[in-house]
Amino acid sequence: MRARLWMGVAWPAFLAAAALEMVVFAMVDPSDLHWFGRPLEASRQTVYTAAFFAFWAVATVSSALTTLLIRTPNGQLQD
């Protein structure tokens, strides 16, 4: 049951991160990014990868909080 709950959090977060990655990088070129006024020295692939994992982490926290908030007092998920 715990693995199923984890996948219920991780899979939608993965899909949300993938969609967000496509939307963001359709409009932003990683070579144009700056960090504290200096250009990023990372490759495009590194920026894509780091951004995807950052998006996935944020979406995972969001999904996990939603799962936490719909639990009943006895620990079961509401239908």
pLDDT tier, 1 (very low <50, low <70, confident <90, very high otherwise): low
Q: Flag whether 74 is in a domain.
A: no
Q: Flag whether 76 is in a domain.
A: no
Strands 34-35 and 38-39: antiparallel
Closest by alpha carbon to 52, among 9, 17, 16? 17
At residue 13, does pLDDT exceed 80? yes
Q: What is the pLDDT of residue 39?
A: 87
pTM for this entry: 0.82
Q: What digits encode the pLDDT tens for the residues 22-59?
A: 999 999 888 888 889 888 888 889 999 999 999 999 99
Q: What is the pLDDT of residue 49?
A: 94
Residue 40 belongs to domain spanning = 2-69
Distances (CA, A) of 56 to 11, 37, 59, 79: 10, 26, 5, 26
Structural domain tally of the chain? 1
